[in-house]
Amino acid sequence: MPDPREQFVRDVRAYRSAGERLVSVVSEFNAMNTGALGDLELGMSLTESFERRGSAVWSRKISMLLEEFEACRRATRASAAAALMAEGRNVADIGRAFGVSHQRASRFSRVARDEDTLPSEA
């Protein structure tokens, strides 16, 4: 099992990379949508515009990247909770660090333990 702090650093790097990919594709997606709006304003049918712009491919691509980003966000949150607990922080401290309620922080901590990031508290 990796050191919780090292795992957190790896997770943040993956999260940042996923965010960079998402930003890049969303920028391209916005350009495609600008073109699609132009198509529609010129009277093109939705079907023709969707086909011309590759709407189905874009939809799948954006969905896949959003799912990847969300998975990275969850992994980072769990590894941060594990690293904080390894530093001796309790659930209240984790809640303050994330700016969330004690109940939500407790869920973060539970996820960290469930993923075997930390041994279960006795």
Alpha carbon distance 19, 103 (integer Å): 27
pLDDT, tens digit, for every residue of 21-66?
A: 999 999 999 999 999 999 999 999 999 999 999 999 999 999 999 9
Alpha carbon distance 99, 102 (integer Å): 9
pLDDT confidence of 120, banded at 50, 70, 90? very low
**Sequence-distant (≥ 6) Cβ neighbours of residue 8 within 8 angstroms:** 76, 79, 80, 82, 83
56, HSE (Cβ side, Cα atoms, 13 Å): 4
User: Residue 117 pLDDT more than 60?
Assistant: no
pLDDT confidence of 118, banded at 50, 70, 90? very low
**pLDDT at position 114:** 73
pLDDT confidence of 2, banded at 50, 70, 90? confident
Residue 111 near residue 78 (C-beta atoms within 8 A): yes
Alpha carbon distance 113, 7 (integer Å): 14
Alpha carbon distance 110, 91 (integer Å): 10
* Average pLDDT in the chain: 90
